[in-house]
């Protein structure tokens, strides 16, 4: 305000355009980042983690992680909405720090890893929700049952052919025939994943 009062009207108008251009530049630069990010990535398990937590009655929760999984991320250069995420988790690799709980989770009480060795997620739509965030909708298949699920992806980093996302979401386990232990253990499984993709 003080600046515009001191300078002449014509300069003020130029300054206004410059300010508008500066505002426009934010999404423009993000779009540039997207085109930089565009491409196909293979998820690198060594630099990724898939952790989960199930709340317990009376407080606390059961925390675990899957050690083995594979997947890919494809970011469309012209339309983020056409990007795709595929993820396959091997439930045999579940780990909670308690071998008895791991054995229980692998058994037919929960994952039935012997008969259903893979949990699959195939994205069906990716909707951008911010400069660095997106809502990923897809079909989750576990124990032969498929339901639509939503995950939030937040871009955590992009450099030298490596892209990193933090992906979070909630899944109702009862849908997949894994409702054992409710209501002592919550029906809601909170996923917290760090997925690092390497280009190629």
Partner 1 sequence: MSMSITNTPTRYGWAAIILHWLIGALFIGQFGLGFVMVRLTSQRTAFELIQLHKSLGFLLLGLVILRIAWRIGNAAPALPRSVGPFERRTAPLAHFALYGFQLALPLSGWALVSVSMLEIPSMPFNLFVMPNLPLAESDAAENFWAAAHWYLAYAGIALVILHALAALRHHFWLKDTVLERIIMPSSDRGAE
Site residues, partner 1 (CB under 8 A) = 56-58, 60, 98, 100-101, 103-104, 107-109, 180-181, 183-184
* CB 56, min distance to partner 1, A: 5
* CB 58, min distance to partner 1, A: 4
In the block, tokens 């929700």 appear at 129
Identify whether the C-beta of residue 192 lies closer than 8 Å to the C-beta of residue 200. Answer: no
Spacing of C-alpha 163 from chain mean position: 12
* CB 90, min distance to partner 1, A: 19
Identify whether the C-beta of residue 191 lies closer than 8 Å to the C-beta of residue 52. Answer: yes
Which residue, 45 or 181, has its beta carbon nearer to partner 1? 181
Identify whether the C-beta of residue 56 lies closer than 8 Å to the C-beta of residue 49. Answer: no
* CB 180, min distance to partner 1, A: 5
CB atoms within 10 A of CB 186: 19
């Amino acid at each position: 305000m003080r600046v515009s009062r001191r300078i002449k009207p014509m300069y003020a108008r130029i300054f206004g355009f410059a300010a508008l251009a500066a505002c426009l530049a934010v999404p423009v630069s993000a779009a540039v980042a997207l085109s930089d990010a565009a491409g196909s990535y293979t998820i690198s398990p060594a630099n990724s983690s898939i952790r989960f937590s199930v709340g317990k009655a009376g407080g606390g929760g059961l925390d675990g992680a899957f050690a083995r999984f594979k997947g890919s991320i494809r970011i469309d250069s012209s339309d983020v909405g056409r990007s795709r995420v595929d993820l396959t988790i091997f439930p045999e690799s579940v780990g909670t720090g308690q071998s008895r709980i791991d054995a229980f989770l692998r058994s037919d009480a929960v994952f039935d890893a012997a008969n259903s060795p893979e949990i699959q997620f195939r994205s069906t739509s990716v909707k951008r929700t911010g400069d660095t965030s997106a809502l990923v909708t897809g079909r989750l298949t576990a124990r032969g049952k498929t339901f639509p699920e939503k995950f939030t992806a937040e871009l955590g980093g992009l450099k030298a052919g490596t892209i990193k996302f933090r992906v979070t979401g909630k899944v109702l386990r009862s849908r997949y025939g894994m409702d054992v232990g409710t209501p002592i253990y919550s029906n809601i499984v909170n996923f917290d994943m760090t997925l690092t993709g390497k280009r190629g």
